Amino acid sequence: MLPMILSLIALSLMIILHEFGHLLAAKRCGIRVEEFGLGYPPRLFTIATRGGTRYTINAIPFGGFVRLAGEDDPHVPGGLASKGKLVRFFALVAGPLMNFVLAIALFTLAFMAGWPEATEFKNVMIAGVAKGSPAERAGLKVGDLILQAGDRPIESPQDLLDYVSAHLGQRILLRVGRGEKTMEVPVVPREHPPEGEGPIGVLIERMPSKVSLRRYPFGAALLRGFQQTVVVAFLTLAIPVLMLRGLLPGARPSGPVGMFQMVASAARQSVATGWWFPVLQLTALLSTGLAVANLLPLPALDGGRIFFIIVEAIRGRRVDPRKESAIHLVGMAILIGLMLLITFYDIISPVPIMDWTRLLR
């Protein structure tokens, strides 16, 4: 139950803060705000009415909305459409901007709580020991780390191969790590080993990287959170192109149901492990994606309305509000239809769920 609640909170937070951004900007610019609601209608009750704005609680306990006066009608006093270009631009861009701020905050928290980073080990690990070989007689075991051969540090399989090849038939001393212990093991490499075994009879490989959580101080975490948000924003723009070119096989858009499935899975693993990176990072990714999507120049979205403001600035006169309103209405119908289709696919074919715990195995 707790993961489900966390998922609803995470997804609602993105939407509520988006709408809250519009609310703050509108209030700042003197745009009349008719209603700011938590959840979606039907309305349950009104919390308060302040400055001509009704603050409400609604029946569907998810997300929220803001209703600005005169969004498409410039003749409504104090309405959005009655304001100048810069004021309208600021009021519209404030929603996506708030999602970027949320993403930076969540990425910052993720870096402070513990960000998984790979620690690369330069040592060589023994992955196999041949029977009857010099290595077996010397007591070498699978999992041992070869740290040094003679006076030469061993940082790669090639280092060990070169050293052993230069000392065939001679006694060499290997410094070996086994658990918490370090020991010196004498070995005599064979000049004529059996085929496929090698002079000392070991199968070696570079020790695999280990992923651990690194906790950053606030300043460094904030900087990395900002950088991560910028990277994700550009990646979000690139994903549709990569999908069309077939470079992301199996990838497809996700709607509210798909996003809920992903966040619920991340929240479930965060609750189970006490490791908050999954839910923080995923919510930050989705918040960035929501910001970028809303800025796309598509009708009915914030970016679509901003596009008309840009056209107005270039033409020197406004697009007929009735035509603009009709375009946004058609765009909204198309977006709703597309969202329903995506939601249908999310239900019949749930999005793949990432096993976040594998990062630390």
Complete domains list, the chain, with CATH: 84-117+215-360 (no CATH), 124-208 (2.30.42.10)
Query: For 213, what's the count of Cα atoms within 13 Å in the CB-facing half-sphere?
Result: 17
Average pLDDT, integer, range 109-135: 82
Q: What is the pLDDT of residue 37?
A: 94
Q: pLDDT digits over 214-244, tens only?
A: 899 999 999 999 999 999 999 888 877 776 6
- More confident: 353 or 55: 55
CA dist 8 and 315 (Å) reads: 44
Q: What is the pLDDT of residue 121?
A: 62
Is there a contact between 82 and 6 (Cβ–Cβ < 8 Å)?
A: no
Q: pLDDT digits over 143-191, tens only?
A: 888 888 888 888 888 888 889 889 898 998 999 988 888 899 899 999 8
Q: What is the pLDDT of residue 263?
A: 82
Which residues on neighbouring strands pair with residue 212, listed in sequence order? 117
Average pLDDT, integer, range 259-267: 81
Q: What is the pLDDT of residue 354?
A: 66
Question: What's 73's DSSP letter?
Answer: -
Highest mean pLDDT among 38-42, 178-182, 256-260 belongs to: 38-42
CB-CB neighbours of 278 under 10 Å: 25
Q: pLDDT digits over 293-309, tens only?
A: 999 999 889 999 999 99
Kindly report which listed range (38-42, 78-82, 276-280) carries the lowest average pLDDT score: 276-280
Kindly report which listed range (19-23, 75-79, 195-199, 349-353) carries the lowest average pLDDT score: 349-353
- More confident: 325 or 346: 325
Average pLDDT, integer, range 96-120: 89
CA dist 354 and 97 (Å) reads: 28
| Chain mean pLDDT for the chain | 86
- For residue 3, is pLDDT > 80? no
Q: What is the pLDDT of residue 214?
A: 85
Q: What is the pLDDT of residue 268?
A: 80
- Nearest residue to 104 via CA among 189, 205, 229: 229
Q: What is the pLDDT of residue 128?
A: 87
Whether omega before 189 lies within 30 degrees of 0, making that bond cis, reads: no
Average pLDDT, integer, range 92-100: 96
- More confident: 77 or 9: 77
Question: What's 121's DSSP letter?
Answer: -
